[in-house]
Structure 1
Amino acid sequence: MTTAPDLAPAAPEAAAWSAALHAEVQQFYAHQMQLLDLAEAQGWADTFTEDATFAVPTLHEPVRGRAALVAATTRSHAELAAAGQRHRHFLGMLDVRPRPDGVVDVRSYAIVYVSDIGGASRVHRVCVCEDVLVRDADGGLKVSARTVTRDDLA
């Protein structure tokens, strides 16, 4: 999903299922970001497929697979704790685009807030998040690929 999304409105007959899918995706992200912010590394990693990729501008190469996601998240939370800080992630402006094969492309804006424990909060980063979501065997959503970019950087 590196090209600009098609922003044409959905056809009226697609509106009902589109609203249900949008609500499901929004709930998925609310749960996923809560797990991340509560330092539930394994639970958060379980919202990704076993072979998922996670690319962010702060890393030289994408993180690949759940075990690596757990390790990276655990390390990040330890660094934040040592610095006396806490992060809170907010995903909004979700553009949910289902494919005919059931895969769902989602583009959103991610705002990361940093709070000094016992102190002030501030915006840490504003990013664009592009996900590829797939269904697991139970019908739930999983991230198979996540690409986070900073479109405000040169």
Structure 2
Amino acid sequence: MTGSPVPPELYAEVLHFYARQMQALDGGDFESYAATFTADGTFKHSPKLPAAQTRQGITEALHEFHKKFDGDPVQRRHYFNHVVLEQQEDGSLSSTAYALVLTTRPGGRPDVGPSCVVNDVIVRDRGALRLKSRAVDHDQEFAAVAV
């Protein structure tokens, strides 16, 4: 950890930002989710896929990724926890959070996974918080290496 702690008000603002962002994603509003990034933002969400660049690229990548759920009445929920937020010298915020994704189908029990670490760079853009970048590391990708 290289930055300095943030005031409680800023920490709460970031948690609120994450809540709205994840609700947009889980609701399938990929345009609103992409709007939480800077215009030139980068989003690396899957270990097997290239990073998406720009809001339009992020929107397109999410539509493409979610095609695998076409015809599958699934609800996915992303949960962020243990958020470590630090102010960087350049004014940006470094955020590291744990994330779990729950997948539920009608009449079924929730499936837990993947388990991830989310690494964000957050900036203030025209008064609003935005992601400059997000890189998601999936725990299952490292499990075999850790043995």
Fold shared by both chains (TM-score > 0.5): yes
From 87, 109, 115, give the equivalent of 1:126: 115
TM (normalized to structure 2)? 0.87
Cross-structure match for 1:146 = 134
Q: Which runs of 4+ in 1 moved over 4 A?
A: none
1:88 equivalent in alignment to 2:77 = yes
Q: Distance in 2 between matches of 1:53 and 1:47?
A: 11
| Structure 2 residues not aligned, in runs of 5+ | none
Using CA pairs below 8 Å that are at least 6 residues apart, which structure has the higher relative contact order? Answer: 2
List per-residue Cα deviations over 1:79-126 (Å, max 9, x = no partner): 224222221001110000012332100000011111113321120211
Cα RMSD (Å) of the superposition?
1.9
Identity of aligned residues (%): 31
Moved more, 91-100 or 34-43: 91-100
Cross-structure match for 2:65 = 76
User: Are the equivalent residues in 2 in contact too, given 1:53–1:62 (CA < 8 A)?
Assistant: yes
Q: Distance in 2 between matches of 1:52 and 1:140?
A: 14
User: Are the equivalent residues in 2 in contact too, given 1:47–1:143 (CA < 8 A)?
Assistant: yes
TM (normalized to structure 1)? 0.83
